[in-house]
Structure 1
Amino acid sequence: MQDVFHEGERIVQRLTGEGWIAEQNSKMISSQFSNGIINFLKTQQFAVISYKDQKGSVWVTFLSGEAGFINVLDEQRAEIQAGLIVGESIAMHEPHQIGLLIIDTERRIRVRINGIATREQDRFVVVAHQIYGNCPKYIQKRELLTDQNTNGAFISEHRNNRLDRAQENWISTADTFYIGTTNDKGEMDASHRGGNPGFIHVLNAETLLIPDYQGNSLYNTLGNIQSNPSTGLLFIDYDHGHLLQLTGVARLIWEEAEADSFSGAGLLVRFEIRQVLQLNNATELRWGEMELSPYNPIAKN
């Protein structure tokens, strides 16, 4: 049987002493859609996607549609009836490595699908290489509202190579973001990160410091960073439909003294920003009131 982990993941698993847990949990990773995941996908309206642009930079955005917009075609293929948001630079008419995260924040359920996608107008066909569920840890409960804002507000795009003050405040008060990574073979992954508001530290306009909390011990995201620093982040303004996308490079910080200043952190991720893309009024989706995850670490006094 082919090893489901690459060397970067194995390194992080060894350094954390969780290789045996990862080995046990690796049994959940499959290349075929189970009936449970098929039924879950039928009810979903939201999916996060990670990809690389033509320059090799990693970006994260999302796809959305009516329930059933993700349709499983057979044991390994799914189609997604959705277009990309304005401002995205991805051309998948040729096979393209992607990472997908389908997350139901109301029920705190998430599924990851990594594989190769081909784009045909407003339709993606994904050939899955890895399919698996994730635990509900650090997912803030948010209801995706059915009555969307349809006022047709003008979409505006703002690009820079560093954060402005408003964007720094957005990130420093966020409780959730999405992260896209890639390994040294170009295989992609998309994941979720959550914590109490303020869990991300903005060191300056070009640098973030992010705590990493205990998860399922697979270390897909950190293993990719260990192999390839190219990383993308996505922040969503759940009240107004704005998106903040960052691409840059990340590295792992293992020093206990630094991690100790972050409640519940095993290690830290230092993210260096290379490009910033803010899309105002990017989506008509809105989310309801938020309930923090009971797994979020308690802040130190």
Structure 2
Amino acid sequence: MTTSDTLFHEGELTAQRNAGEREIAERNGATVGRTIVRGALPFVRQQKTAYAASLDRNGQVWASILLGEPGFLAPSDDAAALSVDLGKVARLDADPFWENIRHDARIGLLLLEPQSRRRLKINGEAHLESDRLEVQVTKSFPICPRYIHRREITLPHPGEAAPSSTASHGHELGPEQLALIGDADTFFLASAHATRGTDCSHRGGPRGFVRHAGDGVLRIPDYNGNSMFNSFGNFLLNPQAGLAFPDYERRRVLQLAGTVEMMWNQSDPAGLTGGTGRFWEFRTSHWIESELPATLQAKFIEFSPFLPKVD
């Protein structure tokens, strides 16, 4: 286990103090380790999706979705490493992830099982060996189930799916991209720290909780979480961010690259933040929209019971 003196970097500590949640962060930080918690190893082996943060050659961080089959994630017996079998993953050719992992070892993985609302972070250094990523774990911890909507996602034989080469790119969000974002109830957020590496987080809310503020800027409420502020802490030091909006029902994913500005102690008469008074704005610099495999099936089950009540 890491100590309280080294667990959080300076950005995370500042964010915790800004929110008045330093003591809560210290308590929750007891779950953070340098290996995968052994009780979670069966969970890791049975996962079919992973969400990843990686860095391109310009230092821009991207969020990606890896759709695989149970067993594509294989933790080592000592829980200090994770092997990712890329041959069992559906490939999206336009995703920067495939190029990023060839030149930058830093990777942040989020394993999330929407049926059970369980999730686990695994951050580390990844090395590409043939069709496998070998990840040396530097930080891992489980996270609470808040704001995860239950879905059943299936993709038969993802490694055999034809690579998705259909994609569109742009710098300014158009009507189709804004419609996808406006209908979203879930997205994944990537951030990075110069020495601590990359991190991938989940964000969930009611449909439409991400709002377009104009000129490609998205305004997003920040709900109560685990108080560690991994993403916000990174953004205080490095505003580069990546967002991935999956639209499983229409089989597509929208990846955004840009920068973040955080807003503390904001007026929130409608209760959009669930009482935190925190918002953040994301300014888009580039986007990629790709098709997910045609054989993917998704069934929405229910919204998270933790969503804030909005006036």
Equivalent residue for 1:52? Answer: 55
C-alpha separation in 2, matches of 1:141 and 1:277: 26
Q: Which residue of 79, 93, 98 corresponds with 1:86? A: 93
8 Å CA contact 1:212–1:265 kept in 2: the answer is no
Q: Does 1:136 align with 2:136?
A: no
Query: In the alignment, is the contact (CA less than 8 A) between 2:16 and 2:227 conserved in 1?
Result: yes
The farther-off stretch of 28-37 and 105-114 is 28-37
Give the 5 Å matches for 1:91-130: 91-94=100-103, 96-130=105-139
Q: Give the aligned length.
A: 300
Q: Tell whether the 8 Å contact from 1:259 to 1:265 is kept in structure 2 after alignment.
A: no
Corresponding residue number in structure 2 for 1:289: 300
State the shift of 1:120 in Å: 2.1
Structure 2: which amino acid aligns with 1:180?
A
Query: Which residues of structure 1 form unaligned runs of 5+?
Result: none
- CA shift at 1:26, angstroms? 0.5
Alignment partner, residue 6 of structure 1: 9
Q: 1:172 aligns with which of 173, 182, 206?
A: 182
Aligned: 1:34 with 2:34:
no
Which secondary structure state, in structure 2, belongs to the residue aligned with residue 9 of structure 1? Answer: helix
Where does structure 2 lack aligned partners over 5 or more consecutive residues? none
> Matched residues in 2 for 1:191 and 1:111: separation?
10
CA deviation vs aligned residue, 1:84-103 (integer Å, no higher than 9, x gap): 52112324345511110000
> Once the two structures are superposed, what CA deviation does each residue of 1:7-35 show, in whole Å capped at 9, x if it has no partner?
00000101111100100110100011222
Q: More displaced, 160-169 or 284-293?
A: 284-293
Report how far residue 265 of structure 1 moved. Answer: 5.1
1:299 lines up with 2:310 in the alignment: yes
Distance in 2, Cα, partners of 1:297 & 1:97: 34
| Alignment match, 1:76 | 80
**Aligned partners of 2:204 and 2:248: how far apart in 1?**
14
Query: CA deviation digits over 1:54-107, x for unaligned, max 9?
Result: 111111112122211100123311101125521123243455111100000000
The alignment yields a C-alpha RMSD, in angstroms, of 2.1
Q: How does 1:126-205 map to 2 (within 5 A)?
A: 126-145=135-154, 155-185=165-195, 187-205=197-215
Aligned to 2:66: 63
**TM-score normalized by the length of structure 1:** 0.93
1:192-242 CA-partner distances (Å, limit 9, x unpaired): 000010111111251000000001111111111111100000011111321
CA distance, structure 2, for counterparts of residue 130 and residue 283 of structure 1: 35
CA deviation profile, 1:151-194 (whole Å, cap 9, x unmatched):
95964111100111011011111100000001243610000000
Choose from 231, 238, 261 the match for 2:248. 238
Instruction: Judge conservation of contact 2:56–2:104 (CA < 8 Å) in 1.
Output: no
Q: Cα 1:113–1:283, aligned 2, differ >3 Å: closer, same or farther?
A: farther
Q: Which residue identity is paired with 1:110?
A: R
Distance change (3 Å), C-alpha of 1:244 and 1:256: same
* Aligned residue identity for 2:127: T
Q: Percent identity?
A: 31
C-alpha displacement at 1:248, in angstroms? Answer: 0.2
Structure 2: distance between partners of 1:230 and 1:282: 29
Letter in 2 for 1:116: E
Letter in 1 for 2:69: E
Question: Bigger shift: 207-216 or 262-271?
Answer: 262-271
Once the two structures are superposed, the pairs formed by residues 255-274 of structure 1 within 5 Å of their partners are: 255-257=265-267, 262-264=272-274, 266=276, 267-274=278-285
Report the residue type matching 2:55 in the other structure. K
Contact residue 254 and residue 288 of structure 2 kept, 8 A: yes
* Whole-angstrom CA distance in 1 between matches of 2:241 and 2:137: 21
1:211 matched residue in structure 2 = 221
Moved more, 123-132 or 279-288: 279-288
- Take 2:285 and 2:185, find their aligned partners in 1: how far apart are those partners? 22
